[in-house]
Structure 1
Amino acid sequence: MSNDLKAKMKEYFEKFDDGFPTMEIEAKSDAEYIKMIDECLKNNKDAYEMKMAVLDDSLIY
């Protein structure tokens, strides 16, 4: 994980009080994750509100 991605994930956590859901989103590179996080931050919506990830109620997390 690059330092840029670590910084973005920290920014996401500070904004939404939750970690970016990397387990639910299969991005192929740090750049893709950064782009998704930037989109969330720009729209003031977390990854679930942006429909990037979906919580499965049948799973126990």
Structure 2
Amino acid sequence: MGNGAAPSRAALGRLTAEEAALYEALGNDTYGPSVRLEQELIRWDWALERLHPAG
């Protein structure tokens, strides 16, 4: 969790009800100004190298 630029306003239609509520709360500054959650970034080249042998 951190602070960042303007929140995303993208339409995210595949979220659960709980995820959608959190996404909306973050966009409305419910937890403070410009609060955001981040996922770990996994580079595609790294992931594909490891997935390819698995078939």
The TM-score bracket by the shorter chain reads: 0.3 to 0.5
Greater gyration radius: 2
TM-score, normalised to structure 2, is 0.32
Structure ranking higher in helix proportion = 1
TM-score, normalised to structure 1, is 0.31
